[in-house]
Amino acid sequence: MWIVKRNAEGYSDPTTYEAMRGLMREDLLRRYGTEYRPLVFICSPFAGDMEKNTERTRGYCRFAVEQNAIPLAPHLLYPQFMDEHDPDSRKLGLFFGRVLLGKCQELWVFGDKVSEGMSYEIRKAQKHNIPIKYFTEECEVKPL
């Protein structure tokens, strides 16, 4: 379910937005108790040094689990059976990732450099009011 930050007339309404988000979280906690874990999209570099970036992303996923979240890192999944170097396959994999981002409760951005693909994911999360958290490569919260 999407919660919009604007009222019926199109004006920004952050108070109502935050209240609705709080109610949704309370409902999830009531339904699932302490076992509720948010689904978080792991946003980190992949291209370039793919071996190094894959290892880092695995660490980011472990960190998410330690934080009681369910990590989703499409860039670890799709290269297993899709060709990252084939433009059509890459485009399809990025599309799959964007669809999955829409199902997540949060977007977690890792590292100091934001790639073109990461930038797109951040913009999509902002557009759909998905909360974004920024972390360093060492999994420390980045001050904004």
Q: Where are the domains of the chain?
A: 1-36, 37-135
pLDDT at 78 over 70: yes
Other Cβ atoms within 10 Å of 4 Cβ, number:
14
How much of the chain is helix, strand and coil, in % rounded to 5?
Answer: 50, 15, 35
Measure CA of the first residue to CA of the last residue in the chain; give whole Å: 27
Task: Kindly report, residue by residue over 99-140, the tens digit of the pLDDT.
Answer: 999 999 999 999 988 988 899 999 999 999 999 999 999 999
At 132 the three-state DSSP class reads strand
Which tokens in the block code for residue 32? 């699932």
Q: SS in 3 state form for 111-123?
A: CCCCCHHHHHHHH
Domain 37-135 indexed as CATH 3.40.50.450: yes
Task: Kindly report, residue by residue over 7-39, the tens digit of the pLDDT.
Answer: 778 777 778 877 877 787 777 777 766 677 899
pLDDT of 12 reads 78
pLDDT at 4 over 70: no
